[in-house]
């Protein structure tokens, strides 16, 4: 049965990228999208995703703040949530974990790389 994966990112092209990557591993994920923190909080409560990917660079609230907000909600606290960003920085990874992230995913350049990461997530439940 496919898992529900929510991407929170202000760039709709990232959702297209995520969708094309997930289609490389059929039957694993149904992807949904929120483009703002406000929309994300409503979507999490409404759709109850199995996993959440949060972009670091959001316009009104950065990804770290949004992860903290998500983890304050009873349902959001239970959902594995990953910071999803182009910047790989060990200090940022540690800060994300301190703020409640369950993992850190550097945005890959190719859908095949993201598909491999998603397959790992689906099989093991974490990175």
The confidence score (pLDDT) of residue 109 equals: 67
Q: Which fold has domain 3-124?
A: Rossmann fold (3.40.50)
Q: If you average pLDDT over residues 67-82, what whole number do you get?
A: 91
Q: Is the pTM of this model over 0.85?
A: yes
Helix 90-98 and helix 63-72, axial crossing angle in degrees, nearest 10: 20
What average pLDDT does the structure give for the chain? 89
What would the pLDDT profile of 11-56 be if each residue is shown by its tens digit?
Answer: 999 999 999 888 888 888 999 999 999 999 999 989 999 999 999 9
22 close to 115: Cβ distance less than 8 angstroms: yes
């Amino acid at each position: 049965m496919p898992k529900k994966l929510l991407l929170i990112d202000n760039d709709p092209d990232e959702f297209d990228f995520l969708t094309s990557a997930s289609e490389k591993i059929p039957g694993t994920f149904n992807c949904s999208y929120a483009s703002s923190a406000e929309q994300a909080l409503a979507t999490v409560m409404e759709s109850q995703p199995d996993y959440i990917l949060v972009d670091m660079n959001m316009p009104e609230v950065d990804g770290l703040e949004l992860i903290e907000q998500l983890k304050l909600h009873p349902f959001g606290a239970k959902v594995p949530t990953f910071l999803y960003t182009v910047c790989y920085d060990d200090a940022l990874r540690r800060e994300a974990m301190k703020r409640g992230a369950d993992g850190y995913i550097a945005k890959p350049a190719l859908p095949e790389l993201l598909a491999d990461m998603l397959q790992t997530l689906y099989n093991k439940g974490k990175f």
